[in-house]
Structure 1
Amino acid sequence: MPHRLHASHRIVVDAPVDQTFMFFTPAGEELWVDGWKPTYVYPSDGRTESGMVFTTGQGDELTIWTLADFDREAHRSRYLRCTPASRTCLVEVRCVTLDKARTEVWVSYTLTALNAAGKQVLEDFEGERFTAMIDDWARKIAGRRELLLATSIR
């Protein structure tokens, strides 16, 4: 009963690429995602680096994340996340300079259902729902832009 879904969407963020890239790290997302509070396993201080491990959620939504690739110079990252009760996901973020004050951000999810519960969750990422979710990220970042630009994200 394998079920796989790939979704990708692009947004534009009004900030330089080096800063924008850090908005999409676990510590960066703490500043703009309501309720986002990762538990850092390695490194325990939450410093963003390749190989870092953290968890989010609880119960059936407990999710284990590994930052597989983190390239500050190329502004690319890839996260592997597993929600053992239902699904796995590869999350890819790529930032590209549009000009000195604007960045294009590509976000891609490749989700695989592990069971019927996972297949149900994948439906939430189909079609316009994924696009709407990523567009909402852009709105949240814009709403907290000054805070994000003033914060040194680790």
Structure 2
Amino acid sequence: MTAGPEGSVGSRAVLRDEFELPLARRAAFRLFTARGEEHWVPGWVPSFFVHDADDLEVGTVWQTRDDRDRPTTWIVLDCEPGRGVRYARVAERWTAGTVTVELDDTEGGCRVRVAYDLTATTTDAAADLERFADGYAAYIAEWRSTILDHLAAGGELPEPV
């Protein structure tokens, strides 16, 4: 976590972690797209501004709501289907930054690398971001366990790319 100059209200966190899944990267990739996360993330409901928008197309925009019902706007910045995707993420008057997910094949499936680069825009958000940063490893570990639970329960996977 880095704080801004004296008098600033925000802070920045650059966070990285990774985990492995027993899926080929091309099969796992869609789990980390707007529509793919609906399969395994409880409460994840992306709302697209354009009907039938392609959630892999650079420039596509959608919105989600957090547990306090604050909107978060997402924009696809870069996408290499099957390999990686980078999103801009703006929670108005709270945090702004990017989320990057990259996948590589491994002998038993794939490695998923997740990076959040977020800046808090208020003092309250800075405290919230610090808590998020402190719990980031557990947060990413929860992604893995939730996906594995979904798979073990026979949960549906999105179409691979």
Q: What does the per-residue CA deviation read over 1:20-54, in whole Å, with 9 as the maximum and x for residues that have no partner?
A: 11110011100000000010113x22432221100
Runs of 4+ in 1 over 6 A off after TM superposition: none
Question: Over aligned residue pairs, what C-alpha RMSD do you find?
Answer: 1.9
Higher helix content, 1 or 2: 1
Equivalent residues in 2 for 1:2-151, closer than 5 Å: 2-42=10-50, 44-48=51-55, 49-57=57-65, 61-72=70-81, 75-99=83-107, 101-127=108-134, 129-145=135-151, 146-149=154-157, 151=158
Q: CA deviation at 1:60?
A: 6.6
State, as a whole percentage, how many aligned pairs show the same letter.
27
Which protein has the larger Cα radius of gyration, Structure 1 or Structure 2? 2
Moved more, 82-91 or 56-65: 56-65
Amino acid of the residue matched to residue 24 of structure 1?
F
Q: Identify if the C-alpha distance between structure 1 residues 152 and 110 changes in structure 2 by more than 3 Å, giving closer, same or farther.
A: same
CA contact (8 A) 1:50 1:70 kept: yes
Partners of 1:148 and 1:104 lie apart in 2 by 20
Q: Which amino acid aligns with 1:56?
A: T
**What secondary structure sits across from 1:124 in the alignment?**
helix
